[in-house]
A = this chain, B = another copy of it.
Amino acid sequence: MELLKQKIQKEGTVIGSNILKVDSFLNHQLDVQLFNEIGKEFKRRFEGKEITKILTVEASGIGIACITAQYFNVPVVFGKKQQAVNMDPESYEAEVFSFTKKNTYQLKIAKRFLQPQDKILIIDDFLASGNVVQALLKIVKDAGAEVAGIGIVIEKAFQKGRDVIKDSQIQLESLACIEHLEAGKVYFREE
């Protein structure tokens, strides 16, 4: 997605060979106009797929998921990283290690928001190690529902997150796929 790549080149900051900081438009300040273009592009890429629900993870995934949901006319459910006193005791869970926060948490989704008949579109801001997507795949499987597709805004191809869907038929679309980060520069994979 050209507009997104331009935005990454213009506003992204590369730290070392692993971190791409895009907090001016994707995960701290949110460029909602850009999110709308992202939502339309996900709709185009998953055209014809039956989707009943969008699944994401707090916090950075929520904005993109909500804007995207407008193009699919479906609700969003987001995985929670912390237990709140008023959360359902009945939840699906999966363990995730966060590289940016250096901790392990239990990702939770209340059971009543995932039904066996659901066709899930997973949406997230980044695909890096694939830990989060793997946890969501486990949760959807535990619910007996089906993953209809995975939509990622930025894929860091060198961190191999895509391996979590190998040997499956799941369609994974990333709108900007990064081959590597080097000397402050972003190198995209040719499409």
Residues of A within 8 A of B (CB): 15, 19, 21, 23-25, 28-33, 35-36, 58-59, 62-63, 65-67, 69-70, 73-78, 80, 82-88, 100-102, 109-110, 112-113
Question: Taking the nearest CB of chain B, how far is it from the CB of A78, in angstroms?
Answer: 7
Contacts A30-B77, A35-B66, A62-B59 known; A84 to B101 CB distance under 8 Å? Answer: yes
Residues of B within 8 A of A70 (CB): 32, 36, 67
24 sampled A-B residue pairs with Cβ under 8 A: A15-B86, A19-B86, A21-B86, A23-B110, A28-B77, A28-B78, A29-B75, A29-B76, A30-B62, A30-B76, A32-B66, A32-B69, A32-B70, A59-B78, A62-B62, A62-B63, A63-B66, A66-B67, A82-B101, A83-B101, A84-B101, A85-B100, A85-B101, A86-B100
Residues of B within 8 A of A31 (CB): 75
Q: How many copies are assembled?
A: 2
Top 4 A-B residue pairs of the complex, sorted by shortest distance between their CB atoms: A58-B59, A63-B66, A30-B76, A32-B69
In the complex, A23→B110 CA distance in Å? 9
Closest chain B residue to A15, Cβ basis: B86
In the complex, A71→B141 CA distance in Å? 37
In the complex, A66→B69 CA distance in Å? 12
Q: A21-B86, A23-B87, A29-B113 are in contact. List 11 more A-B contacts (CB 8 A).
A: A23-B88, A29-B75, A31-B75, A32-B66, A59-B59, A59-B62, A62-B63, A63-B63, A63-B65, A63-B76, A66-B66
Residues of B within 8 A of A75 (CB): 25, 29-32
In the complex, A21→B15 CA distance in Å? 41
Question: Taking the nearest CB of chain B, how far is it from the CB of A178, in angstroms?
Answer: 15
Closest chain B residue to A85, Cβ basis: B100
